[in-house]
Amino acid sequence: MATLTAKATPIFRRLFPVEKHQKQEARSTNLSSPTWFAPMLVGSSERSQRTSAMQSVFLGILVAIPVFIYYKTIFENAYNFPYEDDFNSALSFIADYAFGKLTFGERLKLIFSQYNEHRIVFDRLVFLADYGLFGELNFSHLIIVGNVSLLLICVLFLKASFRQFSISQKLLYLLPAAYSLFLFQYWELSTWSMAALQNLYVIPFAMLSLYSLSKPSRNAFIVACGAAVLATFTSGNGMFTFFAGAALLVLTQSYRKLALWLAITAATIALYFWGYIRPPYHPDIADSLINHTGRAISYFFTLTGMLLGPGRQKLSMLFGALSLLVSVGLVGYLWYIKRIGEHLPLVGWLLFLYLTCLSLMATRSGMGIGQAATPRYGIVVVMLFATQSVLALETFRHRYLRLGVLAGYVAVALFVYLSAINQDNRRRIEDRTRNLKFSSAFYNANPANLYLHWANPAIANTIFTDARQKGIFQVPAITFEDLKSTPEPFDPAQLLPSHNVTVNAQPYETGDFLILYRVWAQINGSLARNTSIQVIARSATNCYAFTAQKHAWEDTDDHILNRKYTQPGFSCVLDKKDLKPGQYTLWICLRNGGEKVYQPMNIILTK
């Protein structure tokens, strides 16, 4: 046992090296001979290089697992169909820009025009690029481009953190960041094209600006200024890059740069608010902060602690408060020991993220504390945790303390990553894609049955029809043939009606297909989350079971935004060609664990 421990010591020292103030201890150990967890020989340069490569590959695989799962999900669900604000922010914008017979000045004004409380210039430039390259808008392209932003965040983490460490050590210490950044916490943004471009890209633009600002060169300062302006005109919270940057310049006593930075700040913010109109449906900021201070504070801590997921408000508030204490403690400790200058990018990133959370507290807490659980803010939440984990691991240099800190952050990241909430969020992405495919199939079966996902279907219909007529957008060739369920033989003797099942079904029939869309069913007034659903078609001589696709459970947003569906519901497409001739009565089967209940739906299907 003693021999094995001695052999394992070099790998431990490689991954958790001593720092400069421990040089004497470093000299007394063989740090020049890295080994694997149970090395056979020590001292061979060739073996050391091979072992180091194996370490890097192993840790690279661990880091790549959440990245691979995330992008696999994105590529599978990047569906080419507009959703929510895509209608007016993308389709309507391209129609006005390309067909509005505008002058150059009018087009420029359109690009910079206000959208809600933002000026989404970056979104619009990407829309124009996609339309210019392909002759039409393709929302699959926009979704993928939007999610490239996460790779830019990864590059910036690699550039700004653990700069004196080997690649294997960097990968090890970035494990908490990887398993938090690639959560599905912000699932609503992931496959929503305009929201991904706006809310995801503002993060790397702000990070790039603050990272460049920590560099001494003139070119780096130019990049910092340009990235800060771009962040501001990507999403409104991007302007906090300027405030965080000013703090960094004060810390470094770069007063000449600070003067120029403040001048650019003033010009950018003045341009941003030139002709600005506060959206009338937004809560009053003064009322939220002065008359409802307690609610605003609760909102802030709920938001910053939302890494743990919705439905745990008190726990989220405690986690948010603890996170703030840790962040302040880390920055304060670095200030006290005069090492804060070594970690300026990370400190700037944390400041930018907390300023964003404070702005959300001011502008959104009037909607209620529950609004803090909105997944579109999830990217800020995961970035807070990821950035704090990196700063903590850089701050604590004692080998065993750093190991403990790493273990703690990895444990939290893995707990959240493997949680049922994260898996449910992934299923929500898949469910949105399913709904959009149904919209395509309804349209392709009969354009009069257009079903669009936006708060105002009438306006969405007008924009959609106009975009189709002008060739701005083409509906994917998805039909109900692609969405149908495969029938399986079923024993009709099991069909004994229950008296505790309520079903609300309005079937739609077109050609050879019978469609049940967003049908809901309950057992004794509720439906367990893990209930599986089948539709049974029974005739005098034959009986078939069709698996129904259950929709995602309603979110906090459904209540806040008064969306249509108060039940998750299910959908199922039956193809008459798969049935033998006859008259079929449709039943529903609800299964929860080993318990099954059946209920006729009073729907007759004839072939």
Q: Identify whether 114 is part of a domain.
A: yes
pLDDT digit string (tens) for 262-298? 999 999 999 999 988 888 878 888 888 999 999 999 9
Question: What is residue 20's predicted lDDT score, i.e. its pLDDT?
Answer: 45
Residues 63 and 127 in one domain: yes
Half-sphere exposure of 142 (CA within 13 A, CB side): 34
Which is more confidently placed, 517 or 562?
517
Q: Are 380 and 502 in the same domain?
A: no
Helix (H, G, I), strand (E, B) or coil at 603: strand
> Is there a domain that residue 460 lies in?
no
Tell me how crowded residue 288 is: count the other CB atoms within 10 A of its CB.
21
Confidence of residue 7 (pLDDT cuts 50, 70, 90): very low
Per the CB < 8 A criterion, the answer to whether 206 and 352 are in contact is: yes
What dihedral do alpha carbons 213, 216, 218, 222 form, nearest 10°? -10
Give the whole-angstrom CA distance, residue 174 versus residue 63.
8
Say yes or no: 29 and 61 in one domain: no
Query: Of 380, 403, 426, at which residue does a domain stop?
Result: 426
Q: Are 278 and 302 found together in one domain? A: yes
Instruction: Compute the distance between CA of residue 447 and CA of residue 401 in angstroms, rounded to an integer.
Output: 64
Q: Are 558 and 521 in contact (CB under 8 A)?
A: no
Spatial distance between the Cα atoms of 87 and 129, rounded to a whole number of angstroms: 17
Give the residue from 223, 238, 212, 273 showing the smallest Cα distance to 123: 238
Last residue of one domain, picked from the residues 396, 426, 456? 426
Query: Residues 264, 319: one domain?
Result: yes
Query: Could you give the CA distance from residue 380 to residue 183 in angstroms, rounded to a whole number?
Result: 12
In this structure, are 486 and 399 located in the same domain?
no
pLDDT of residue 574: 95
- 262 and 159 within one domain: yes
Q: Quick one: 83 and 34 in the same domain?
A: no
In a domain, 27, yes or no: yes
Q: What is the arithmetic mean of pLDDT over 406-416?
A: 96
Q: Is 468 within the bounds of a domain? A: no
Q: Which two tokens stand for residue 379?
A: 């990217």
Residues 401 and 514 in one domain: no
Same domain, 137 and 284: yes
Give the domain range for residue 88.
Answer: 55-426
pLDDT confidence of residue 14: 54
Confidence band for 41, pLDDT divided at 50, 70 and 90: very low
Residues ≥6 apart with Cβ < 8 Å to 323 = 304, 305, 384, 385, 388
Q: What's the pLDDT band for 589 if we cut at 50, 70, 90?
A: very high
User: Is there a domain that residue 436 lies in?
Assistant: no
Q: Are residues 376 and 414 in the same domain?
A: yes
My answer on whether 319 and 420 are in the same domain is: yes
Please report whether residue 459 resides in a domain. no
State pLDDT tens for residues 525-580: 777 778 889 999 999 999 999 999 988 765 444 443 344 444 568 899 999 999 99
> Is 450 inside a domain boundary?
no
Residue 49 in domain: no
Q: How confident is the model at residue 178 (pLDDT cuts 50, 70, 90)?
A: very high
Counting the structural domains of the chain, the total is: 3
